[in-house]
Amino acid sequence: MEMTKDRAGQAKDGGARLCERCGATIFADGPSGYCPACLLETGLNLLKTGQTRSPALGEFGDYQLLEEIGRGGQGVVYRARQKSLNRIVALKVIALGHWATETHLKRFRREAEAAASLEHPCIVPIYEIGERDGACFFSMKFEEGGQLDQLVRGEGVSLRRAAEIIASLAHTVQYAHERGILHRDIKPGNILLDAQGQPHLADFGLARLVENESTVTRTLEVLGTPSYIAPEQAAGNTAEITSATDVYGLGAVFYQLLTGHPPFAGGTTYETIRLVLETEPRNPRLWNAKVDRDLATICLKCIEKDSGRRYRSAVALAEDLERWLRHEPIQARRAGILTRSRKWIRRNPTTAALIPLSIALLAAIGMLVWNRAPKRAPAGIAVLPFESLDGDKADTAFVDGVHGEILSSLARVADLKVISRTSVMDYRGQRNTQKIGQALHVSYLLEGSVSKAGGRIRLDTELIDTSTDQCLGSAL
C-alpha cells in the first residue's frame, strides 16, 4: 500500500514516521519531521550562517555570558558571571537547542549528574544543573589555567611534567572507576589546568554508570574524539568498553604530551578511525629523541589495541609513572619479538603466508645449485633484489624483507657460497646476468618479482646459470 505523510512527518497509515524533506524513515528517538541526514545538513547550514540556537553573549537567566571558551559535540562552554553569587563560572549549554532529541538531552543530563556525583580535588565540580528557554545547562568551576591542549600547542611540557600530569589524572580516573563511572572521552581539551598548573578532569559527557546501562549507551554510535578513542570505541563495540578504555585515553593524551602529536590523525574522521582500528602507533621516540625507552614503553602499553594488554587499571599506570619519576625500574615491558610478529601476521596474513613458502622454495633451489656445482670448489650464488611489478612501496618493503630471509636460509646450505645483501643491492634492476656473475664471481643468479592480482600476491623466481645465461628453473 502506498503511504503518504502529513506535515508532521507521520505516516498516515500509523506506521513509521517519515522525513519531511527526503521521505526517509525517522527513528523512534529522532526529532519530529527530519531524518538524521537532513538534520545534519540543516545543522551545518545553521553553523555556516551563525544561526545556532546557542545563546548569544549577554544575559542568560542568573548568568551573564562573557565569552565562548569551548565548543564540543554536546555543548558550548562560556566563561560567565553568576549574578546571584557574583562569581565567575564555566557554563555549558547544550548546542542543538530545539533540534535536540530526547537521547541528546538524556546524555547531556547524565553528563552533569555523573560529574556532580564525583567529589575529588582534580575533578571540576558542578555548581548547578538547570534548563532555560528549552536549553539544558550546568555551571561548574572556572579553571584559570585553560585547557591542556592550549599548553601543548604553545610552550609544550617537559617529559617529567608530562609524566606528573598523566599520573595525577590516572589517580583521578581510578577514583571515578571505583564509583562505577567511566569517562570515555579523555582528551587534552577535557583536561583543565588551575592557576598552579595542576590538571583537572572535566566533561563527563560520555560517562556512563557501569552498573546502570541505558539505551543511550547501547547505541552503536562512535562516541568520543577520533584521535583519542580506543579501538573498541572506534568499532562501536559498547559491550567491550571498560576501564581499559579510559586507560587508552590517558595513553593517547600522554602520547601527545611526549610527541606533540596524537597517536593517530587522518585527514578525515573516517581515515582517523581506520588508523585507530588497523595501524600500530609510531614509537614516540621516533617523534622525540628525548623520550627514553621506559616512557615510550609505558605510553605504548596504554594504547595497545588489545585491551587485555593495557594496564589492568588506571592506578597501575599511575604507579608505573611514579616509579619512572623516582628513577626506579618500571613494570611494563616492551612487547617481545614473538608478540610483535604475531601482531604483524594478523595485520598482513597474505604476505606473512608467502615468507615460509619462499624460504622453503629457495632453499630447495640452493640444494639444486649445490648438486650441479663441481665438487672441487664451493658453488656461488647471488640473490638479486626482487622487483615489485606494481610499483607499490609497501610491496617493495615486503620483497626486501623476503630477500633478507632467503639469503639467511641459503647461507645455511653446506658448501654454498652466498653473496651478501650489501654486495647485490647495487644490481637492482640490471639484466646482464653474465656481467653480474663475473663481477660477483658466482656461477648462479636468482631473480624474482612480485605482482598483485585479484587481491592475491604472486611471486615469480628464476635461477640463471651465469656462464650460459640459461634459465635452469622457474617457480611461481
CB atoms under 10 Å from CB of 17, counted, come to: 20
Reported as type and span, the H/E element at residue 26 is strand 25-26
Cα–Cα distances (Å) from 309 to 42, 275, 302, 422, in that order, read 43, 19, 8, 38
The rounded distance, in Å, linking the Cα atoms of 152 and 253 is: 10
Cα–Cα distances (Å) from 150 to 21, 193, 250, in that order, read 41, 10, 17
DSSP class of residue 34?
-
DSSP class of residue 211?
T
CB–CB of 259/287 below 8 Å?
yes
The rounded distance, in Å, linking the Cα atoms of 319 and 444 is: 59
DSSP class of residue 11?
B
CB–CB of 275/205 below 8 Å?
no
Phi-psi region of 38 (alpha: psi -120 to 50; beta: other; left: phi over 0): alpha
Contacts of 116 (CB under 8 A, 6+ apart): 125, 126, 129, 138
Q: Which one of the listed residues 185, 203, 246, 320 is annotated catalytic?
A: 185
406-411-412-414 Cα dihedral, nearest 10 degrees: 130
Residue 185 known to be catalytic: yes
Closest CA to 114 of 60, 183, 169: 183
The rounded distance, in Å, linking the Cα atoms of 69 and 259 is: 26
379-383 and 416-418 beta bridge pairing: parallel
Contacts of 463 (CB under 8 A, 6+ apart): 365, 368, 369, 444, 445, 446, 471, 472, 473, 474
The residues assigned a catalytic role are 185
